[in-house]
Amino acid sequence: MDIKRTVLWVVFSFSLLLLWDGWMRHNGKPSMFFPGAAEQTQPVAAPAAPAAPAAPAAPGQTAVPSVSPAGAASTALAGVAAANAPFKSETITITTDVVKAEISTVGGELKRLELLKHRDTVDPTKNLVLFDSSAGHTYLAETGLIGGPYPNHKTGFVALPGTRTLDGGNQVQLVLQAEQNGVKLTKTFTFKRDDYTIDVKHTVTNASAAAITPSLYLQLVRDGNKPGGESHFYSTFTGPAVYTDAQKFQKMTFEKIEEGKAEHANKADNGWVALVQHYFVSAFIPADKVERDIRTEKVGPNLYAVASVIPLGAIAPGASVTMDARLYSGPQESTILEKTSPGLELVKDYGWLTIIAKPIFWLMVHIHAIVGNWGWTIILLTMLIKLIFFPLSAASYRSMAKMKAVTPKMTAIRERNKGEPAKMNQEMMALYKTEKINPLGGCLPIVVQIPVFISLYWVLLASVEMRNAPWIGWIHDLAAPDPFYILPVLMAVSMFIQTKLNPKPPDPMQAKVMMFMPIIFSVMFFFFPSGLVLYWVVNNVLSITQQWVITKKMEAGNSKA
């Protein structure tokens, strides 16, 4: 039995399935391999005066109609009191060295966040916008009080005077105040230099004549659409995630939330809630050791929310309570995420191969610290991994060289025993024994290496450090496809050479299929990030060199014998 050929057929078949799966996802169909990553292609509803999503209900609250800015009643979620009378709203812009934020005085809603050091995927001439409230995309950060007719994310706030840019300082603050039924809510946003974390402080003052028991909600709202510019030939996760010390990292799809089947921790006194997309994340991080409920909910057509709801306890007349929290909105850079909050680095999800992927990325970071270029880092890392697996690869190539040498004999056996598979297999096994060939010898060393190479694939795909990172010449962004398709063509050529070095299948049809495989793979890799293709090209070149040297040595040894 020719195991090598069987493995190649499996790879070929799987490649066709991947192409078909990519086409299905491109047309809005569910993915066969990534059921949680299927795109929701319906547009966000954008009426003339769109209603903002309501706040989550506090435990035990009954439904209280909420009112949109246009005055239309809505009961999407419970616990939000009727909004105050209309007032003249304004949008306040805060600019630091890394972000440009727009906060509305309606509810103190963070409705736009531009990352000044990251370019947009679709239009690289523009900066990437994470939070957004445009007609085609909704992504918001909202906070407020529930449990009574208290200020919430639909209430009119007044902005206190102050600076709106760093202006040489290390931080800038925005203070918003609103009062409703004798309950005053003060929101203080603190932006810091070279920091994607926004401190969000809420102070509740009870100026009424009776005690109150409000709850504070910290809520992220997003539509279910994939980020623009995502490839249809590989899938990345977009959706809510929750972390607690007890249940660790849990992510869920928008589809599960819509079906009411999202499973996650519901109560904790630690952790965070987040919305994750390729390369970027937004996470509300309440203070530690503070009890909170964790909620996920569909709040509108193609609109979903994940929230922490924090009971503030009884607040006596004339008393105040302050609750601190943080909002991280930025790139999934491991070193930053690890410092920001426990478990936040897990949003950079490597799947079931995390145990291998994390050390690989750690090694990449240290190589990059020396060479200063992520392209050369990929090349050096690939060379190092090939060196580590050199003995296994050598054993595989020696076995393949032996198989190639006896291919004429194998072909003769197949011709001689057409229609008699049992006799053919018996003679094949006898040939293997005579020539001292292990039919699994060329495959097992490759199988051992597969988890490492898959882990490296996910590391390169998930690392925002590759985004907008140049290599040389025409490669200006290792996270984007090669603009001139030079690397995919080089990969196709390298695969073709590898096919020629491998034992030729006795079956002419199989031989033709093997010759077409490089073309199929290269078409797929036209749409892959150039950093991934660079890795495969370097790996193939090293494999070809090693295989050619070993084959020549064995042929020379056989000729002397």
Q: What is the mean pLDDT of residues 52-71?
A: 35
d(CA 118, CA 124): 9
Claim to verify: residue 134 and residue 53 sit in the same structural domain: yes
Q: Tell me what pLDDT residue 350 has.
A: 84
Angle, alpha carbons 140-91-214 (nearest 5°): 55
Q: What is the mean pLDDT of residues 495-505?
A: 75
The dihedral over CA atoms of 78, 80, 81, 85, expressed in degrees to the nearest 10, equals: -130
Claim to verify: residue 137 and residue 207 sit in the same structural domain: yes
Claim to verify: residue 328 and residue 389 sit in the same structural domain: no
Claim to verify: residue 422 and residue 503 sit in the same structural domain: yes
Q: What share of the chain is helix, strand, coil (3-state, %, to 5)?
A: 35, 25, 35
pLDDT at 85 over 70: no
Claim to verify: residue 313 and residue 380 sit in the same structural domain: no
Sheet holding 248-251, edge to edge: 158-159, 171-180, 183-192, 197-206, 320-331, 280-286, 272-277, 239-244, 248-251
Which of 47-51, 398-402, 557-561 ranks highest by mean pLDDT?
Answer: 398-402
pLDDT digits (tens, 9 = 90+) for 324-345: 999 999 999 999 999 999 999 9
Q: Tell me what pLDDT residue 301 has.
A: 94
30 or 311: which carries more pLDDT confidence?
A: 311
pLDDT digits (tens, 9 = 90+) for 219-274: 999 999 999 887 766 778 999 999 999 999 999 999 999 999 999 999 999 999 99
The residues that bridge with 74 in the sheet, in sequence order, are 66
d(CA 157, CA 104): 9
Torsion angles phi and psi, residue 14, rounded to 5? -65, -35
Give the confidence band of 430 by pLDDT, cuts at 50, 70, 90.
Answer: confident
Which of 1-10, 292-301, 432-441 ranks highest by mean pLDDT?
Answer: 292-301
Per-residue DSSP letter, 212: B
Claim to verify: residue 485 and residue 515 sit in the same structural domain: yes
Give the confidence band of 510 by pLDDT, cuts at 50, 70, 90.
Answer: low
d(CA 193, CA 505): 62
Given the structure tokens 């290390």, which residue do they identify?
170
Q: Tell me what pLDDT residue 36 has.
A: 41
CB 39 within 8 Å of CB 277: no
pLDDT digits (tens, 9 = 90+) for 431-486: 877 877 766 655 655 676 778 878 888 888 889 999 989 999 999 999 888 999 99
| 27 occurs within a structural domain | no
Claim to verify: residue 302 and residue 378 sit in the same structural domain: no
d(CA 494, CA 518): 8
| 561 occurs within a structural domain | no
Torsion angles phi and psi, residue 158, rounded to 5? -110, 130
| 330 occurs within a structural domain | yes
Tell which phi-psi region holds residue 116, choosing left (phi > 0), alpha (psi between -120 and 50) or beta: alpha
352 or 65: which carries more pLDDT confidence?
A: 352
- Asked whether the CA dihedral 244, 262, 134, 30 is positive or negative, the reply is positive
d(CA 215, CA 226): 32
Q: Tell me what pLDDT residue 421 has.
A: 83
Q: What is the pTM of this model?
A: 0.77
| 35 occurs within a structural domain | no
Cβ neighbour number for residue 39 with a 10 Å cutoff: 20
d(CA 201, CA 195): 17
Q: Tell me what pLDDT residue 82 has.
A: 39
Claim to verify: residue 84 and residue 169 sit in the same structural domain: yes
Claim to verify: residue 338 and residue 361 sit in the same structural domain: no
Instruction: State the amino acid at position 200 in one-letter form.
Output: V
> Domain boundary residue among 296, 317, 349?
349
3-class DSSP state of 275: strand
> Domain boundary residue among 332, 349, 366?
349
pLDDT at 559 over 90: no
Give the confidence band of 282 by pLDDT, cuts at 50, 70, 90.
Answer: very high
pLDDT digits (tens, 9 = 90+) for 95-132: 999 999 999 999 999 999 999 999 998 898 999 999 99
In the chain, the number of structural domains is: 2
CB 149 within 8 Å of CB 127: no
Q: Tell me what pLDDT residue 504 has.
A: 65
| 32 occurs within a structural domain | no
Q: How many Å separate Cα 143 from the centre of its chain?
A: 25
Domain that holds residue 411: 357-554
Q: What is the CATH number of the domain that holds 68?
A: 2.70.98.90
pLDDT digits (tens, 9 = 90+) for 418-427: 878 888 888 8
Torsion angles phi and psi, residue 140, rounded to 5? -135, 155
d(CA 438, CA 447): 15
Claim to verify: residue 326 and residue 259 sit in the same structural domain: yes
d(CA 546, CA 548): 6
pLDDT at 182 over 80: yes
Q: What is the mean pLDDT of residues 356-385?
A: 94
3-class DSSP state of 364: helix
Say if residue 167 is exposed, middle or buried (CB neighbours under 10 Å; 0-12, 13-18, 19+): exposed
Q: Tell me what pLDDT residue 216 has.
A: 98
Claim to verify: residue 325 and residue 442 sit in the same structural domain: no
Q: Tell me what pLDDT residue 75 has.
A: 28
Claim to verify: residue 345 and residue 373 sit in the same structural domain: no
pLDDT digits (tens, 9 = 90+) for 185-210: 999 999 999 999 999 999 999 999 99
DSSP string across 376-403: HHHHHHHHHHHHHTHHHHHHHHHHHHHH
Cβ neighbour number for residue 466 with a 10 Å cutoff: 25
Q: How many Å separate Cα 121 from the centre of its chain?
A: 14
Q: Give me the chain's average pLDDT, please.
A: 82
Q: Return the HEC string of 62-113.
A: CCCCEECCCCCEECCCCCECCCCCCCCCCEEEEECCCEEEEEECECCCEEEE
**Considering only CA atoms, which of 536, 468, 505 is closest in space to residue 9?**
505
The residues that bridge with 305 in the sheet, in sequence order, are 221, 297
